[in-house]
Amino acid sequence: MSTHDENDNSGKPRRRPRYKGTHPKAFKEKYKEQHPDKYTDHTAKVIARGHTPAGTHRPICVDEIMAFLQPQPGQTGLDCTLGYGGHTTELLKRITPGGHLFATDVDPLELPKTTARLRAAGFGEDVLTTLPFNFEQIDEVVAISGPLQFVLADLGISSMQIDNPDRGFSFRVDGPLDLRLNPWRGKPASALLKTISREELEEILLENADEPHHAVIAHALTHRRHKTEPITTTQQLRKLIAEALHFLPPAHQETDIKKACQRVFQALRIEVNNEFGVLDNFLEKLPGALQPGGRVAILTFHSGEDRRVKKSFQRFFREGVYAEIAAEPVRPSAAECAGNPRAKPAKLRWAVLG
């Protein structure tokens, strides 16, 4: 990348700020990581340290997914969660020539970036169609594509969303408490916390994240709202959770508070985006979207998702809709988890239509 590719108002070249060391902390300073095609050596070093380069995403369980879906040249399939396009790229390599992949993503910020990246990689409109749909709209995709021979759904949020503080997905850095997958629709988590009752918040924390301290945290968050200003940033929320759990044993307090923060952010994100409702709708529509013998693989990242996928697959199997389902979830290998810690909670379940 040119060091003088930006101009100020005078029209004179303006040099890019010097890259701040080998491990810059601020997201906006990590421009080398966010352009892996231009800084390949630096990106390789970041990955070698077991990290995901900022603004990118490393696909999980690629080999396991491809082994089950068995995508072949000429087939038509759907990647329900395009994200950064890692799984999509591997599917496209296997269905060409003659095949076509449809890919959906609800994130209006990342969808055009990934589409452009895939087009530049040589995957034109003849082989790839990207759509700004939520994956519960699978029936609308099938109205365009016809019955599908395979479907993939990776239910994890993308690293691009986690790493960017403007999206409000992480408690590690300060940013607006948003958590919306589509920041142009619906209300952010900060708006939810302004009006929700303590009882409703308790239920959300328990149902969406199995938070053991749901009552204490819900009381602290709603009590704060009545006493002082609203909760509007990620760091405000993190601090309030830590204060609410001050009674935890000192030896485990730091670790337990970190886990509680992860669960609270997860629970609010699921609520803000109606993720369980979307998943339930998708699972109900899924059999009708597949051709006979069609295969589906779903990658989940927490127990609430996995329970829903498991129960849906089991019910349709008992009813004779699915001919085969995974008896147990497939987990990422130890080597993959060591190289990419974000893979650790992943569970892969699959089914084959009768």
The confidence score (pLDDT) of residue 200 equals: 97
Question: Which of 221, 256, 272 finishes a domain?
Answer: 272
Residue 237 domain flag: yes
Residues 29 and 69 in one domain: no
- Global pTM reads 0.83
Residues 264 and 280 in one domain: no
Residues 68 and 148 in one domain: yes
SS3 of 68, please? helix
The confidence score (pLDDT) of residue 171 equals: 87
Residues 117 and 82 in one domain: yes
Residues 133 and 84 in one domain: yes
Query: What total number of domains does the chain contain?
Result: 3
Residues 72 and 154 in one domain: yes
Average of per-residue pLDDT across 65-84: 96
Check whether 123 has a pLDDT greater than 60.
yes
Looking at per-residue pLDDT, the higher value among 35 and 134 belongs to 134
Domain extent for 44: 18-56
Question: Which of 246, 272, 298 finishes a domain?
Answer: 272
Residue 239 domain flag: yes
Task: Read off the CATH number of the domain in which 70 is found.
Answer: 3.40.50.150
Residues 155 and 280 in one domain: yes
CB atoms within 10 A of CB 283: 21
Residues 187 and 263 in one domain: yes
173-180 contacts: CB < 8 A, separation 24 or more? 173/27, 173/234, 173/235, 174/233, 174/234, 174/235, 175/233, 175/234, 176/232, 176/233, 176/234, 177/231, 177/232, 177/233, 177/234, 177/236, 177/237, 179/265, 179/268, 179/269, 179/272, 179/273, 180/272, 180/273
Average of per-residue pLDDT across 119-127: 97
Question: Which of 29, 56, 83 finishes a domain?
Answer: 56
Residues 322 and 298 in one domain: yes
Q: What is the mean pLDDT of the chain?
A: 87
